[in-house]
Amino acid sequence: MKKLVSILTAVAILTSVASAQILKNFKLDGSSLEINAYNLNNADFNKDNPDKTGDVDTRLMLNMSFDLNDNANAVVTVVKNNRQWGENSETLNDLQDNINVEQAYINLKGVIGIDHKLGRQFYGNPGDLVIYYGPKMWPYQQGNVGDVDAIDAWVGTYNYKDWAFTGILGKENGATGDMGRNLSGIDIKKKIDRFNLNAYYYYHVDNTAAPASDKLGLYGFRANWDCNYLEGLNIGLEYDHNAGSDDSYNKYKGYAYKINAGYTTDKVAGKLGLNAEYAYLSGDNNDTDTNNKTYTSIANDYRPGIIYGGNDWIDWNNYKYTGDGDKIIKLGLNWTPEKLNKLNLAFDYINFKAAEKETNMTEDTLGNEYDIIATWNHSDKVSLKGYYAMFKPEKKNLNVTTDDMETMLGAAFVVKF
């Protein structure tokens, strides 16, 4: 109760001095309420076992900003995502213990020609294969509507004509000791006509490892091209490579690449989109080479499917596969009817294989996933998504005799404000 009184007192003080422009140009922008309801069945690939589960998860994110002066503003993001429907009601003490401040940083505009962000903040883009600190977006992961992560950092951005340079120096949360886990990096973007080019390097040092520090480097590039020969066609390429060494002085030699293509047209009784993607994340064949040849990201958020999204929905105890590298083929289409333009219907097929066939595996195929998604965009602030996903495992790579399809049925509501 004392904590609650302190919070209310602080709010009262801030409110009373609002005339002093401490909360000048206050905005509640980029906030959202998300609800995800789902049922999951046959995670063990045996329909005769009563393992059906279902939950309704919620996440509230309040994103607030206000000016400090003409050259600086502050951003604070408060998140609550601990409770599932059907759990006991919360006391005020429970409430204050489960409201987390996930972002708290200031923007400095144009200081020595650079825009600076200082403090705890999100970084990167959802679904990124290399680095993303932020709220996990749909498809949400098991346990809550989506974990939220951030990094304490300085991020500086300098723009020159069609160039954008971004540097980061930061520390990850949750590490013990004074040195902790440190991150540094540089990201360079350039636009040339219809090409968007991106090169980057990140260096992550985990000083909590033993007997020595874990020093992971990652460099790579991306290129996206809006084809000028076929309007609506976009082609993307990404390549990433590891460097550095782990805490046992074994070198990181993993790599990953991703090729994707998308085509959109509004000439099929509405808007039709087709997409294809191939991703390869290297694995280790466990030969006599002690170097680490598995692709290792800085903070990976690549989740190609609903069920196979982050491996959170599959019972890997029944697999012969140990999760060391992937080959992923994804084919999809989506359609927005001309006369019902708030509706989008999508279908995705995803094939998963092991990057390196492990010694106890019969086939390199892990399984196939089929996702059906219907999205109703009531407005740019309110949307409803219904989805059904099916994952069919490769029977020859299971430790069990059954290979029944795993299924998932769900609905997700998003309200932005």
Classify residue 303: in a domain, yes or no: yes
How high is the pLDDT of residue 12?
A: 43
Classify residue 140: in a domain, yes or no: yes
Classify residue 13: in a domain, yes or no: no
Q: Total domain count for the chain?
A: 1
Task: Tell me the C-alpha distance between 327 and 308, whole Å.
Answer: 13
pLDDT along the chain (417 residues), means of 10: 45 45 83 94 87 91 94 95 89 89 96 96 97 92 77 97 97 77 97 96 92 93 94 96 94 97 95 98 80 94 86 77 88 96 97 87 90 97 97 90 92 96
Residue 126 vs residues 191, 298, 303: alpha-carbon distances, Å? 21, 14, 9
How high is the pLDDT of residue 363?
A: 86
How high is the pLDDT of residue 146?
A: 75
Task: Tell me the C-alpha distance between 128 and 198, whole Å.
Answer: 13
Q: Does residue 404 contact residue 44 with C-beta atoms inside 8 Å?
A: no
- Assigned token pair, 8: 């209310």
Classify residue 239: in a domain, yes or no: yes
Classify residue 32: in a domain, yes or no: yes
What pTM, to 2 d.p., does this model score? 0.91
Which residues constitute the domain of residue 166? 23-416
How high is the pLDDT of residue 101?
A: 94
CA 306 to chain centre: 13
ω before 126 within 30° of 0 (cis)?
no
Query: Which CATH number is 279's domain given?
Result: 2.40.160.100
**What string of H, E and C letters represents the secondary structure of 345-385?**
EEEEEEEEEECCCCCCCCCCEEEEEEEEEEEEECCCCEEEE
Classify residue 225: in a domain, yes or no: yes
Classify residue 346: in a domain, yes or no: yes
Classify residue 2: in a domain, yes or no: no
